[in-house]
Structure 1
């Protein structure tokens, strides 16, 4: 009993302690998961409206019909218009200079004398042929006896003499240097009373009625322009910020061998008549005003991502949409949405890289 009593007492105390722990155990507390509030995003509501985009590209001016007026024969300069300085505008068939014609006039007189001599020889040969045919009537004879080769040679000699007269007359006409078309003088490389050689350049000219503007066009720009170029209103801006109306001249049939770009050539009328003038070999800005788009939307620049995508909010959820850019301005961009372009949209003003499609957000309306 002495040995078992402590054991029984210890067991009893243990049972009492367990009972007290069970009785004093607090009731379990039920926890509810925390619900995060939707992230706020700043949006702006945009609506479709009509807009005519303007595409601006860089071009290079080029002279139209650039040519060199050369001396057709060697002679001393007989007359030169002293007012023909570089930049002077001349009209078609205007006399610019003339060469001395003394030698050519002598050659023309000799050529006309040769014509008269050839006519006389032909007449003499034909008369001899008539006499020969009468004497040989009814007899067989050769063509030489009938004077046929002699007559043919006399006729050829007359034709040659006449061609020489025509050639010398043409050289006499060429001694008068005239403008082949309405032109502007780029360079004058001759002085009064100067002796010029055959083929020497006297003037460098270009057409004054128009000027070419060449535009290299990339593939993306060509896709936009291919269907609207004929209807576009074209103007260009030079270095003096002066505007010039332009029109389409032609589309180059071949792509550039190096860049593989297409080329559009524009026409600018009367470029040398205004002050300041529009000169060749200058870079200009060409503004192409395209046809009006009915479903265009104006967005802030910050709303467009690098991939030409826009985040919008639909039913409190983020949606990523693809757009087609029309034109950039200083503070905005004009686009057309690929799907349902005419429907109004809540566009996220400042999209983040952490945004996910379908994410629930709280739109906060802002003003443009």
Structure 2
């Protein structure tokens, strides 16, 4: 059986094939167009309109005016309170310690010559009586011998003959008289010695002092030179302060026994604003072992405040000492925090710009530094910056605050660099940021 294709079926098949061909071609064109647009977008960077950065305000700084003329450094140090005179009172004779006086208590002040303790006097009273009896016997023998000498002289004169000097001395009993006189003298010495030992049974204060400690108890059998009490002089104490040797040139160290520079002493245990006054007495010849510092002795009168309402100094206490230094001319005083790199300062000029100056530092303390006025080229009218800046550069604009003599420049808009100040000749200095 043969099959016959009709004309209508052939035309339909050709139309379907044509539509499939054009659809595929359109899809390829769309894909190619997308790839082209994507490549163009990738190859072209985004164009963003650049805007000028906002103007940064000038940093704020605090300034001070330097102190010129005759100035002095602030010299401070720490010292330990020590006794000027401390004594262990010992018995000069032996015996039983009977008792202490009512004033011989630790912490009590005793006057010069005040009785402190008493030893048993029985043996010493007997010794005095024995010495007195020996003296009486010697004086009686001397009186008898003088009577014998008178009798011998009478007989010699009645004899009527002249003898040699030696024989005449024997006849007149002159050697026997000397022996009797010597016996009396020896007996007197023995009596005085016994009386002195008796008086030494009472122990007395050698000077005005405070009782520190009892070293023996009542009823103790003590021998000569046994310490009984510990005393400390209350008239004055020493404060031994350690200072660098170069700081001594600023102090009056009290030559020829005259009082030196005044010293203000403070302690942690005292209320705020309370202090004691002292005077530099001398400089010790040896250095402190740990830091090789000079040791200065400061004298403080009435250290225990027995005659005033001042706070009392205690032995062993550590105090802060502030010395009155001798001013010198031709110097400039600044706070130590105003120094930069140990030899520079920052200045705010009349236009409120930063100027960096080299200075010659004569003295640098914890709070105060002294500069040589001639070599530092600073004046009392200049404004010294004491604030820190994150990036300090010559000529940068500043906003000055805290100057009582000048309200400062309050410009917030950035200004062009000062004439001649280029990145090549700027002197940057990094500190802690403050603006």
Match of 1:100 in 2: 120
Structure 1 residues 249 and 296, CA gap change in structure 2 (3 angstroms): closer
- Whether contact under 8 Å (2:79, 2:239) holds in the other structure is yes
Distance 2:254 2:118 in 1: 51
Q: CA deviation at 1:269?
A: 2.9
- Whether contact under 8 Å (2:63, 2:387) holds in the other structure is no
Distance 2:275 2:126 in 1: 53
Structure-to-structure mapping, 1:210-225, within 5 angstroms: 210-225=236-251
Deviations 1:316-347 (A, max 9, x none): 98542203236533xxx342334166554465
- Whether contact under 8 Å (1:303, 1:351) holds in the other structure is no
- Whether contact under 8 Å (1:43, 1:363) holds in the other structure is no
- Whether contact under 8 Å (2:261, 2:279) holds in the other structure is no
Distance 1:53 1:64 in 2: 29
Q: In structure 1, the residue corresponding to 2:247 is in which secondary structure? A: helix
**TM-score normalised by the chain length of structure 1:** 0.72
Structure-to-structure mapping, 1:48-127, within 5 angstroms: 48=67, 53-81=73-101, 84-127=104-147
Q: In structure 2, the residue corresponding to 1:86 is in which secondary structure? A: coil
Structure 1 residues 311 and 228, CA gap change in structure 2 (3 angstroms): farther
Q: 1:247 aligns with which of 256, 275, 278?
A: 278
Structure 1 residue runs without a partner (length 5+):
1-39
2:270 equivalent to 1:270: no
Q: CA deviation at 1:201?
A: 1.2
Q: 1:281 aligns with which of 311, 316, 324?
A: 316
2:361 equivalent to 1:323: yes
2:155 equivalent to 1:135: yes
2:366 equivalent to 1:337: no
2:272 equivalent to 1:237: no
Match of 1:310 in 2: 344
Distance 1:361 1:286 in 2: 41
Structure 1 residues 327 and 173, CA gap change in structure 2 (3 angstroms): same
Q: In structure 2, the residue corresponding to 1:301 is in which secondary structure? A: helix
Match of 1:362 in 2: 395
**TM-score normalised by the chain length of structure 2:** 0.62
More strand by percentage: 1
Distance 1:364 1:99 in 2: 88
Structure 2 residue runs without a partner (length 5+):
1-58, 403-435
- Structure having the higher Rg: 2
Higher relative contact order (CA 8 A, sep 6+): 1
- Whether contact under 8 Å (1:44, 1:349) holds in the other structure is yes
- Whether contact under 8 Å (1:93, 1:180) holds in the other structure is yes
